[in-house]
Amino acid sequence: MTNPTTLRPTGRPTSRPSWTRIRALVRKELNDYRRNHFITTTMAVMPLLFMIEPVITVFKLPANAPASKLDALVGVSSLELMLIPALVPAVVASYAVVGEREQGTLEPVLTTPIRPAEFLLGKALAAFLPALVIAYAMYGLFLAAVGTFAHPNVVHDVFQAPRILAQLLFTPLLALWSIWAAIAISTRAGDVRVAQQLSSLASLPPLSVTALIGFNAIQPSVGLAVSLGAALFLIDALAWRLVSTLFHSERLVTGAKA
């Protein structure tokens, strides 16, 4: 006999989420992404575009570049690389609800035994995992290119521990913020393109932190990176709680705004 406490399609969860159902939803989402040419193109092309400019900027720096100019340009390059975890998952996650509603596949998913928390986590993970892999891969390629071809003084500045730690730490946190903001917008929007545009804008505010570091308004350090990372983590947790509170399966099926 089915346990009613674990199979409630629209009610509040009464026990821990089922990771079996979450994994099933993640697999379903990834398969849908592969069939969606816009999403696959976004994941493939956008990261490359955001990496080209930082690589060119760093390669053009002369060996005798002043320290102030070197720090500023390296900081701007790091900021541009941060656009990958900020914008790529936002574009993908903005499709999460409104895209399925437009295709008529949302109601069959919501009427399965999956619970709201499992639905949200599955949608978020499906956008988070590929975005994280892509962002780290692009950053790894950037470091490899700089280490191989740039001038030694440029290499020294790029490979500073606070810069690398900030990049590694902020990447998943920025991606999570973008995903929760995009899913929240996707539940309210009536058109995929509008959801994608609003989600892209909503993903940008946390980048102000990295912008301050990039333009030397805040001197980068390991302690600062950890502190700002903790603050971003708290913001992501609050965003998850807010999205969970606003989530209503019945309204999503009907597309009602209230």
Pairwise CA distance, residues 226 & 235, whole Å: 14
Residue appearing with tokens 């071809």: 149
Q: Are 17 and 115 in contact (CB under 8 A)?
A: yes
Q: What is the pLDDT of residue 34?
A: 87
Residue 214 has pLDDT above 80, yes or no: no
pLDDT given at position 177: 93
pTM of the model: 0.82
Of the candidates 249, 174, 254, the residue with the CA atom closest to the CA atom of residue 210: 174
Encode pLDDT of 50-102 as tens digits.
888 888 888 888 878 787 778 778 888 888 899 999 999 998 898 888 888 88
Average pLDDT for the chain: 82
- The average pLDDT across 15-43 equals 87
Half-sphere exposure of 173 (CA within 13 A, CB side): 25
Q: Coil, helix or strand for 113?
A: coil
Nearest of 127, 138, 164, 140 to residue 52 by alpha carbon:
138
What radius of gyration do the chain's Cα atoms show?
A: 20
Confidence (pLDDT) at 126: 93
Q: Is 199 within 8 Å of 91 (Cβ atoms)?
A: yes
Q: Is the pLDDT of residue 1 over 50?
A: no
The Cα–Cα gap between 43 and 33 comes to 10
